[in-house]
Amino acid sequence: MSTIDPHHRILLVEDSGTNRMLTSQVLAQAGYAVDEVADGRSAVQAAAACRYDLILMDLTMPGLDAVEATRGIRRLPHPRGDMPILTMTGTSSAADKDRCCAAGIDGFLSTATDLPDVLEAVSHWVEAADDPTWGLEARPGVTPPLVNRRTLVQLEEDVGSDQLPELLLTFLRESARRAGLLEARVSANDPQGAADQAHALKGSAGTFGAMALRHLVYDLEQAGRAGECERLAALLPELRRLVAATSVRLCADYPFLAP
């Protein structure tokens, strides 16, 4: 585990007093500063008042649940609404995960996860708070963020707010086009052609912070270079899902992208 900065602050959102106390103690003993709230509405208020490095939130809570709370947090001005948000859940369906991702939730932790693994995941995600390149390199057992907002904030600073809308629109259109071309190459039994399309999409995905998409097209590129046609075909449904999910997330974060 990487060295913990004692100034890293985590907001823990959990309606169970027992679970909240246990998780808070474990995080505090690991060196984190922890604030606690018991519901989603309080989570939004706390995020508006303090810049956190990570929010760890129970998925199901009475009143404002994690999805609605995340939507409220993501509407906060930078940097208050830009931190990673993880949900803790016992079970979650694919539909639940898609709903969470669309709202701006970055990842999931099972409530059955051992505490050392929870701390490892928290450590990795905390690194996303200030690092615009976080998520570029694959890490075993760590899910990359759908979108790393640090990357987009840095991009906006580099190119200017006036240029960002056109760049993001171009990226979304190009992603859909490249995904279609990649799928056509797989259908044509052309793994090298599919690898070429994956390579092109990998670069642009990294530039725009689409880390989950970048990792997937890296796998597609490797499969194509190795001539693994069956693996290419098996990865195509996830490619379609991530292209769509990335578009939904960016449109939610940047309303000017919505049709």
**CATH number of the domain within which 33 lies:** 3.40.50.2300
Q: Are residues 170 and 252 in the same domain?
A: yes
Residue 41 in any domain: the answer is yes
Mean pLDDT of 165-183: 94
CATH number of domain containing 189 = 1.20.120.160
- Taking a C-beta distance cutoff of 8 angstroms, is the pair 4, 31 a contact? yes
What domain count does the chain have?
2
Same domain, 169 and 117: no
In terms of domains, do 60 and 99 share one?
yes
Q: Provide the pLDDT confidence category of residue 4 given band limits of 50, 70 and 90.
A: very low
Q: Which of residues 254 and 45 earns the better pLDDT score?
A: 45
Average pLDDT over residues 76-84: 79
Residues 21 and 80 placed together within one structural domain of the fold: yes
Tell me which of 96, 130, 164 is where a domain ends.
130
Do 24 and 124 reside in the same domain of the chain?
yes
pLDDT at 178 over 70: yes
Q: Kindly state whether residue 163 falls inside one of the protein's structural domains.
A: yes
Same domain, 157 and 126: no
Higher model confidence: residue 146 or residue 140?
Answer: 146
Structural domain boundaries, residue 40:
9-130
pLDDT band at 247 (very low <50, low <70, confident <90, very high): very high
- 17 shares a domain with 126: yes
- Cross-sheet strand order for the sheet of 9-13: 33-37, 9-13, 54-58, 85-89, 107-110
What are the residue ranges of helices labelled H in 8-82?
17-29, 40-49, 66-74
Instruction: Let me know if residue 145 belongs to a domain.
Output: no
The pLDDT-based confidence of 2 (bands split at 50, 70, 90) is: very low
What is the mean predicted confidence (pLDDT) over 33-49?
Answer: 95
The verdict on residue 61 lying in a domain is: yes
2, part of any domain: no
Q: Is residue 33 located within the same domain as residue 64?
A: yes
Which whole number is the average pLDDT over 100-127? 77
Predicted pLDDT at 133:
61
Instruction: Give the global pTM.
Output: 0.61
Length of the chain measured in residues: 259
At residue 74, the pLDDT reads: 85
Last residue of a domain, which of 95, 130, 165? Answer: 130
Q: Which residue has the higher pLDDT, 92 or 48?
A: 48
Which carries the bigger pLDDT value, residue 154 or residue 49?
Answer: 49
139 part of a folded domain: no
Say if 42 falls within a structural domain: yes
- Does the pLDDT value for residue 154 go beyond 70? yes
Residues 167 and 120 reside in one and the same domain? no
User: The tokens 């959102």 sit on which residue?
Assistant: 13
44 and 83 share one domain: yes
DSSP assignment of 130-184 equals: T-TTTTSS--TT-PPPS--HHHHHHHHHHH-TTTHHHHHHHHHHHHHHHHHHHHH
Per the model's pLDDT, the better-predicted residue between 94 and 138 turns out to be: 94
Q: Verify that 110 and 161 share a domain, yes or no.
A: no
Burial of 112 (0-12, 13-18, 19+ CB in 10 A): exposed
Q: Is residue 250 part of a domain?
A: yes
Chain mean pLDDT for the chain: 85
196 and 124 belong to one structural domain:
no
**More confident: 49 or 253:** 49
pLDDT, position 183: 96
Alpha-carbon span 222 to 47, nearest angstrom:
40
